[in-house]
Each structure stands twice: as C-alpha cells, then as structure tokens.
Amino acid sequence: QVQLVESGGGLVQAGGSLRLSCAASGRTFSMSYMGWFRQAPGEEREFVARISWWGYTTTAYADSVKGRFTISRDNAKNTVYLQMNSLKFEDTAVYYCAALRTTANVDYWGRGTQVTVSS
C-alpha cells in the first residue's frame, strides 16, 4: 500500500502561483512514477503532470500546463511537488496526487486538494 497526502491548495488570483506538495508513505519503492491529476466540477479527472520516482528524472505534462507548471521530487522526503505559475481561472479544480507502477494506470490516489483561481 502507498499513502498519499496532498497539501498547498487554496485561493489565488489569476496570474498568481501556488505550490502543491504530496507526501508519500508506505511501499513507495514499488512505484515507478508519481503524478498529478485534476478534476473540475462537472468534468472528468484529467492528467496534469508525471515524474519518474527513481533514477534519471523524466517528466511529462499536459499541453494545457506546459511552460506554467513544474513537477519535481525529493526522494529523501518522499515528496513530490507541483509548482503552478501564471494560474488561470480554468486551472480551478481539485488536484489529486497519484502513484503509478506504469504509465498505463494509477495505482494509488490521494484525497485531493482544492485549487481555486479567481478571475
């Protein structure tokens, strides 16, 4: 089992920044990737960003956040971060941390943290 706890959400004006954190515990050694997804009201959950959890760092981003969001990791702290800059109203959503063995599907989810961007 892997437990994921998100933090750092909140209310921010458009153009502002937030940094989300996801603290992982449990059998994290069995995971290959950590990622962030988001779900806006009335919408399906969508991919935001992904980072390799061990070894050489590889990242992937949704087109909608490229150039604005940066995912990073700190293995010593078992934590993954999502730095969000130049936030837009359409970034408003609940952001979920995820742990993945492969890129095909998510194995574990966090409970989510709300990000609200005011226009």
Condensed to tens digits (0 to 9), the pLDDT of residues 29-71 reads 889 999 999 999 999 999 999 999 999 999 999 999 999 999 9
**Residue 115's pLDDT is what?**
98
List the structure tokens of 63: 């087109």
Q: Is the pLDDT of residue 5 over 90?
A: yes
pLDDT per position as a tens digit, 76-100: 999 999 999 999 999 999 999 999 9
Question: Sign of dihedral through CA atoms 92, 93, 99, 100?
Answer: negative
**Residue 106's pLDDT is what?**
94
**Residue 29's pLDDT is what?**
87
Q: Average pLDDT over the chain, rounded to whole?
A: 96
**Percent residues over pLDDT 70 in the chain:** 100
**Residue 119's pLDDT is what?**
86
**Residue 111's pLDDT is what?**
98
What is the average per-residue pLDDT within 105-112? 96
DSSP 44-111: --EEEEEEESSSS--EEE-TTTTTTEEEEEEGGGTEEEEEE-S--GGG-EEEEEEEESBTTB-SEE--
The pLDDT-based confidence of 23 (bands split at 50, 70, 90) is very high
